[in-house]
Amino acid sequence: MNDIIPLLKSGQPVVYLFATLTVLTLLAASYVVTARNPIHSVLALILTFFCLSGHYILLNAQFLAAVNIIVYAGAIMVLFLFTIMFLNMKKDDEEAKTNLTKIAAVIVGGVLLVIMVTVFRVAQVAPVDTITYNPQVGMVEGLGMVLYKDYLLPFELASVLFLVAMVGAVMLGKREAGDRHF
């Protein structure tokens, strides 16, 4: 926290943009957890993903930002919205949560907070060496070279796994002529 104050006093626009995105991300993420309406929660999660993509752009990882917007804010959030809309959400679901469940959630969240604070206090941030810094680190070309040279076998195995999952989903979703419709 002591490192951020001098950066804000420097008056650089990137620092203000980073601070604004950080505050907006934290507010949207907290609304995801605290919103009573699941549709509002999903919309806040989409805003959180867009803010995280802004952080990726500030970190010079344009490819990661584009993938985050396309995959998470696009496809997965549409899936979440359709799932929530198809579920019949009633007020009984909120009342079904017992006090024990709420206490357990607070304890787990508190333990996670303590672990994160401890990790951030102990972690050492390496200084950036401007002489050896490569500005092309987060670009698509560098990622493609590493992916298709060093990690070709895991990449191909993951693609076969996705293909098998797609075929399995189609086979499970396919209805036979004599099947009952639920």
Question: What are the tens digits of pLDDT across the range 94-153?
Answer: 555 678 888 888 899 899 999 999 998 888 877 877 788 777 776 778 778 888 899 999
Domain span at residue 16 reads 1-89
Q: Do 84 and 168 belong to one domain?
A: no
Same-domain pairing of 1 and 71: yes
Per the CB < 8 A criterion, the answer to whether 45 and 73 are in contact is: no
How far CA 119 is from CA of 1, 113, 116, 123, 138, in Å, comes to 14, 10, 5, 6, 25
Q: Give the residue from 60, 89, 118 where a domain finishes.
A: 89
Q: Over pLDDT 90: what percentage of the chain? A: 24
- Specify the CATH number for the domain of residue 55: 1.20.120.1200
Say whether both 2 and 85 belong to one domain: yes
Cβ pair 50, 84 in contact under 8 A: no
Confidence at residue 1, expressed as pLDDT on a 0 to 100 scale? 46
Count of domains in the chain?
2
Q: Answer whether 0.75 is exceeded by the pTM.
A: no
Structural domain includes residue 49: yes
Q: Interhelix angle for 140-149 vs 152-173, to 10°? A: 90
Instruction: State how far the alpha carbon of 46 is from the alpha carbons of 8, 11, 40, 65, 173, in Å.
Output: 28, 30, 10, 13, 28
Same-domain pairing of 3 and 82: yes
For residue 135, count CB atoms less than 10 angstroms from its CB and return exposed for 0-12, middle for 13-18, buried for 19 or more: exposed
Q: Look at residue 97 and tell me if it is in a domain.
A: no
Element (H, E) at 74: none
Please check whether residues 77 and 156 belong to one and the same domain. no
